[in-house]
Structure 1
Amino acid sequence: MDMKRHLKSALKALGFDKPRKAQIMPMNTLDAEQDAIIISATGSGKQVIYETVGLAHSDKLTIVIEPLLALIYNQVQTLQDHGVSADYIDMTRSKEDIDKILHRARKGKLTFLYITPERLRNHVFIETMQHSDIFMIVADECHCITEWGYTFRDAYLHIGDFINELKHKPVICACSATISADSLNIIRDSLHMDKPVILRSDLRRDNLILLKKDVTCNKKTLEERLEFRIKKLCKLIDKYHKDGSVLIFAQTTTYVDALYNILAEKYPDDVTRYHSRIKPERRKKQLLFDFLQGTRKIMIATSAFSMGIDVSDIELVVHFNAPISMTDYIQQIGRAGRDERKAHCVLFYDQNGDDDAISNSFIKKAKKQSPKAAKTIKSKLNQVHNFIYSDNCMVNDILEYQGQHEVKTCKRCTACAQKRRNSK
C-alpha cells in the first residue's frame, strides 16, 4: 500500500524519510477522513501517524488530547523544532497567552493544539472551537478513558460531549498500546466515533529484556529495608547504565524525593526527578527538559512520566515499587529501547508488605471518593500481583493482557531463564 504525495511531504517535514509499514494504513485511513482506533506497540510511532496526517491538512486545526503535561511539552517542543505551528494550553499559561493561542486557532494559523481533557469543559475554549476549522481530534493514550475516567479524571468521559458541541464533526483518532479487548467499545462510544476502523499491529517489543527481582528483606524497620532496596537499585544502575539514560519509577512523591536525595549524591549532576507536587510549574518543566534534552541521564519519577515520552536512548527502566496496574507497567517499560537497542526493564517486588501498604493507601483514598473506584484499583492491583507471581514468560503474559495470544516465549525474561535453569 502506497502513501499519497501530500502525506509523504508532511512526513519528510517531520524529519522522516519513509514510514514504517504499520504506519501507512492508519495514515491513509485518517487522511480519507475515516475515524480510527490505532493499537500498536510502545515506541512504534503512533505519534508520527497523527502528526503526519495533521500536518498534511495544516490549513485546518488538529486538537491533540493528552493525559500528562510532560507528554504535551515533549511533543510540542518536537513539532516546534521542525518548524511546525504547534502550541499548548495548560495551567502555566497566562490569560494573555491563552487568548493569543485561541485567536491563532480561530484564524487558522495554528496546525496543532495540545490540551488535557479538562480544557474541553472550559466555556471560552468551547466557544472558540465552535468557530474554528477543525480537521481532527486525537485522543492520545486513549486507554485513559477506561483506566482513569471512572476513578479520578471524569473529564475523560466527557470528550464526546465536546465533540457533539462542534458545528462540524471532525475526524476522530484514538490510539494507545494498551487497549484491553473489553474496553474497545467503551472508548468508541465515549468518543462518539463513527464506525471506526480498528487498526491493530504486533505489540511485541523484542529488544526489551524483562526481569523481576524479589527485594524482600528480613530487616525490622522500613528504613533498613529501603536501604537494602536502594543498594540493589544502585547495583543495577552500575551494571546496565552505559551511555544511555535510566528511568526509575516509584509509586509516591515521597519515595521519588527520597531516592533523588540519595542518588544525587552517588551520581552527582546526573539525576533529576519529576512528580505532580514539584512547584512552581516552571521548575518542574525545567527538571523534565533536563532529562528530555540529555543534560541529566537519570530520571526518578511517578507515573506522571509514564506515557508517550520519547527519549530514544533509555537503556534501563526500574520499577522501585510494584506498579499499580498492568497498563501503567506496560506504558512505563515502553519508554525503554526506542533507539531499537537492547534495554533492560527490572521490576522490584517484596514479600514484606511494604509495597502492599502503598497500594492499600491508594485503595483507602479512592474509597472515600467512590467504592466503585476502590474496587477498580483493587482489581488492577490483583492483575499486577498475578503477573509478578506467574511462572509464564513475562512477554507472553503482557501480550495476553493486551489481547495478543503468543505461543513463542522470549527466552530472556526472569521466568524463561528460571525454566532454562530448572531443565538442566
Structure 2
Amino acid sequence: MDRPLEILTKYWKHDAFREPQEAIIASVLEGKDTFALMPTGGGKSICFQVPGMMMEGICLVISPLIALMKDQVQNLQNKGIKAIALTGGIRQEEIIDLLDNCQFGNYKFLYLSPERLQNDWILERIKNLSINLIAIDEAHCVSQWGHDFRPAYLKIVQLKEFFPKVPFLALTASATPRVKDDIITQLQLKNPQIFTKSFYRENIAYMVFETEDKLHLLQQILYKNPQPSIVYVTNRKSCLETAKQLESLGFTATFYHGGLSAKDKEKNMQLWMEEKVQVIVATNAFGMGIDKSNVKTIIHLHWPQNLENYYQEAGRAGRNGDKAFAILLNNPTDILHAEAQFLGVLPDKAFLNLVFSKLCNYFQIAYGEGIDEQFSFNLNHFCTKYNFPTLKTYNALQFLDRQGIITLSQEFSEKITLQFVIPSKEVIRYMSLHSNDEEIILTILRTYPGVYDMQTAFNLSLIAKKANHTETEVLSLLQKLKEKNIIEMTAKNNDATITFNEVREDERTINRVSKYLEAQNKLKTEQLKAVLHYCQDQNTCKSKVLMQYFGESPKEDCGICSYCMAKNKKRQNPETVSEKILTLLKMQDFNSRDIQKLTKLPKDDIIFALQKLLEEETISIKSNNLYSLK
C-alpha cells in the first residue's frame, strides 16, 4: 500500500504535509475516531482525501456546503479520482443510479448533505456500501452553540450503529472550547484523538481603524498595498457601489455576491484570481474553497456577524507566509447598523408561528395534512401578500428548513432580470413623451440604482406595490420597453420549491423547536457582543482578543496589530498638537482629514487632541463635520 506522502505527491503534487495533517491521517488509518480543529487555509480536505485513497472501499463525506462539495468533487475528478456528490435538485431515479455506481463502480468518495440522511431509503442504500471512513466537514454545525447549527447534523450519529468499526473524522475551522466538547459528545466520538492547530497567524496584522470616511481610508490602504485584495461588505448593493467607487478612484476592481449568475461569478472571480483586477468587493458568499496564496489585504467595510466568520475571511490573507493585513474599518454608527442587520431580522417564536401558519394557508394545507407535498414558491410574492419583512421571513423559513419541518430549495432566484441599455438621458426623454409609464419607470430606477450597469434581479410584486399598479401592468410595460430596445429582460420560471416534511400542527410544531430558536437568537446576540469587544477594545492586542475568543491564552502580544503599533508609537505632546490645530482653525474651518494633512501629524494624535479641545469647549464641530473655533 502506498504511504500517505506518496499519495499526496502523486495526486496533489505536494512534497510535504502541513502540520498536523500527517498525524491526523495516521490516526484515521489506525481506525481511531478523530477531531481536528484546523483554522481556515489549513488543508482540512487532505486529512480525509489521502486516507480515503489508501483504504479499500469508499469515503463518505458529509458537508452542508453545496458549492464546496461540487468544487471538491470536480477537483478529485480532474485528478482521475472517482467521486460523486448527491446535491439538491437530483431526481430520485438519478440518485438510485449514482448510488449503484458507488456500490459497483469502484468510487472512492461520496459527498452528501446531512439532510440526505433523513431519507430512509438513501440511508438503507448507504448501509450497503463498503464505507472506509466517515468525514464530517463543518462539524461545528452539530452543536447548537456553533455559529451555524443544523439539527440534521444530529442524525449523523446513527451511522455509528451501522458502521461501528468505521472511524469518524470531525473537521472544523472555527470552534470555541464549548463547541469542541459538544461536537465530541453529539457525534459520540470514542476516545477521540484530538488535534487543534493554533489560531495564531504570525504574519497577519489585525488592524481596527476608527474613521469618519471609510472610502478615503480604503483608498489609502489600497494605494499603499497594490497587491491582490478582498473588500468584504454585508450586502449586494454595497458590493456594486463600492466596486464602482474604487474604479472611479483609478483602481481595477470587480465584485462578487450570491445574486450573480454562475457565469458572472466565475468570470469575476477569474479576473481577480488571474490578477487582471487588484480588488474584488464581495459579500461573504465569496471565499469558500478559494485558495489564492498572495492576498495582501482583507478589508471589512462593515462589521461581520461573528468572529468565527471574521477569522475565516481574514485568514484568506497571507497564505504564502508573507506579511499581510486584515483590516476592519469602524465608525460609531456601525454598532447600530450591525444590530439592525443581524439582530433586528431574527424571528422570535410568535413571528415563526405566524409565518408557518400563513405558509400553510398560502398553499391551502389543512390541519393534520401536508406531509411530503411540494410546491413552487416565490418569497417576494408571499411577503407582499402578508406584508411580512423579507429578510426576517427568509430567516424564519431557513430555521424551519434547518429543523427539518420544511425543505427549502437552496437559493431563491428571481423570475425576471433586466438592464436598461440606453443612456439615462434617453430614458428621461422617453418618460417625458410617455407620462403614463413614468411612475413605474421611476420606481424601478429608485429601487435598483445599478440597473444601468448590469442585469439586475427584479421583484415584480414589490415594484407593483411601490408604484401603485398591478403586476400585470408592470409586466406589460416591461414587455413594451423590451420591444423598443430600451431594456434587456430575461424571464425565468425558476421559483424556489418548498416541501412539507411533517403534517400541519401549527403551534404544536413550533413549540417543539422553539427552544432551539431561543438558543440560536441568544447565541447570535453573544456573538455580536464579541465583535463589539474586538472593535472597541483599545487596551488589548487584537491577535490576543481573537485567540482568547477561540480558547487560547497567548502570553505575548503579536507586535504588529493596530493596538501594538499604537502602543509602540511615540506619542506627540498633546499640547503641541492642540496648538497647531488652533493655529489652523484661526484661518478657517477644517475637517479632521485636512487637519491631519496640513499638520502632517499621526491621525490618532489629531483625534485625541480634537476630542480634548471639544471637551474643553475650545472648539465645536458643525453639522458638515468641520471643526471651528468657539
TM-score, length-scaled by structure 2: 0.58
Amino acid at match of 2:563: A
The residue aligned with 1:384 is 531
Correspondence 1:200-215 to 2 at 5 A: 200-215=196-211
Which residue of the partner structure matches residue 235 of structure 1? Answer: 220
Give the aligned partner of residue 196 of structure 1: 192
Name the aligned partner's letter for residue 20 of structure 1. Answer: R
**Alignment check: 8 A CA contact 1:76 1:86 kept:** yes
Q: Secondary structure at the match of 2:285?
A: helix
- The answer to which of 137-146 and 203-212 deviates more is 137-146
State the Cα distance separating 1:37 from its structure 2 match: 0.7
The answer for unaligned runs of 5 or more in structure 1 is 218-227
Distance 1:46 1:378, change over 3 A: same
Are positions 1:117 and 2:114 aligned together? Answer: yes
Q: Distance in 1 between matches of 2:329 and 2:132?
A: 44
- Corresponding position of 1:367: 347
Match of 1:221 in 2: none
In the aligned structure 1, how far is the partner of 2:181 from the partner of 2:209? 36
Q: Flag the 1:349–1:56 CA change in 2: closer, same or farther, 3 A.
A: same
Is 2:208–2:535's contact at 8 Å kept on the other side of the alignment?
A: yes
Alignment check: 8 A CA contact 1:64 1:137 kept: yes
Q: Distance in 1 between matches of 2:176 and 2:251?
A: 41
How far apart are 1:172 and its partner, in Å? 1.0
Q: Which amino acid aligns with 1:15?
A: K
User: 1:132-211 counterparts in 2 under 5 A?
Assistant: 132-146=129-143, 153-161=150-158, 163-164=159-160, 166=162, 168=164, 170-211=166-207
Residue 254 (structure 2) aligns with: 271
Query: Structure 1 pair 252/155, CA: closer, same or farther in 2 (3 Å)?
Result: farther
Question: What's the CA shift string for 1:275-328, capped at 9, x where partnerless?
Answer: 2x445x565566556656666653333333355532222221111211111111
CA positional deviation for 1:417? 0.5
TM-superposed CA distance for 1:235, in Å, is: 3.1
- Larger C-alpha radius of gyration, 1 or 2? 2
Give 1:327's aligned residue: 308
2:303 maps to a residue whose letter is A
Deviations 1:188-237 (A, max 9, x none): 1222322211112333211112111213x3xxxxxxxxxx4234333323
1:136: how far off? 1.4
Alignment of 1:12-411 (within 5 A): 12-13=9-10, 14-57=12-55, 59-91=56-88, 98-146=95-143, 153-161=150-158, 163-164=159-160, 166=162, 168=164, 170-215=166-211, 217=212, 228-242=213-227, 245-263=228-246, 270-275=253-258, 277-279=259-261, 284=265, 298-305=279-286, 307-352=288-333, 354-368=334-348, 369=352, 370-390=517-537, 391-411=539-559
Distance in 1 between the 2:157 and 2:238 partners? 37
SS at structure 1 position matched to 2:344:
helix
Two-structure CA RMSD over aligned residues (Å): 3.0
Q: Which has the larger displacement, 410-419 or 37-46?
A: 37-46
Q: Using the alignment, how far apart are the partners of 1:95 and 1:230 within structure 2?
A: 51
Q: Distance in 2 between matches of 1:269 and 1:136?
A: 45
| CA positional deviation for 1:253 | 3.4
CA contact (8 A) 1:74 1:292 kept: no
> Which amino acid in 1 is paired with 2:536?
Y
Give the structure 2 partner of residue 222 of structure 1: none
For these two proteins, the number of residue pairs brought into alignment is: 403
User: Bigger CA drift: 79-88 or 6-15?
Assistant: 79-88
1:34 aligned counterpart, secondary structure: coil
Aligned-pair CA distance for 1:345 = 0.9
Cα distance in 1, alignment partners of residues 60 and 534 from structure 2: 36
Q: CA deviation at 1:151?
A: 6.5
SS at 2:230's partner residue?
strand
Larger deviation, residues 171-180 vs 284-293: 284-293
TM-fit CA distance, 1:347 = 1.0
Structure 2 unmatched runs, 5+: 353-516, 573-630
Quick one: which amino acid aligns to residue 20 of structure 2? A
Which region of structure 1 is more displaced relative to structure 2, 32-41 or 63-72?
63-72
Alpha-carbon distance in 1 for matches of 2:93, 2:250: 41
Query: Who is 2:431 aligned against?
Result: none
Report the CA distance between 1:412 and its aligned residue: 0.8
Give the Cα separation in 2 of the matches to 1:268 and 1:238. Answer: 9
Higher mean displacement: 246-255 or 32-41: 246-255
Cα pair 1:62 1:137 within 8 Å, conserved: yes
Contact 2:76 2:82 in 1 (8 A): yes
Partners of 1:42 and 1:129 lie apart in 2 by: 30
Please tell me whether the aligned partners of residues 70 and 305 of structure 1 are also in contact (alpha carbons under 8 angstroms). Answer: no
Q: Contact between 1:316 and 1:343, CA under 8 Å: does it hold in 2? A: yes
Identity, % of aligned pairs? 24
Matches of 1:208 and 1:104 in 2, distance apart?
45
Higher relative contact order (CA 8 A, sep 6+): 1
Q: CA deviation at 1:144?
A: 3.2
TM-score normalised per structure 1: 0.84
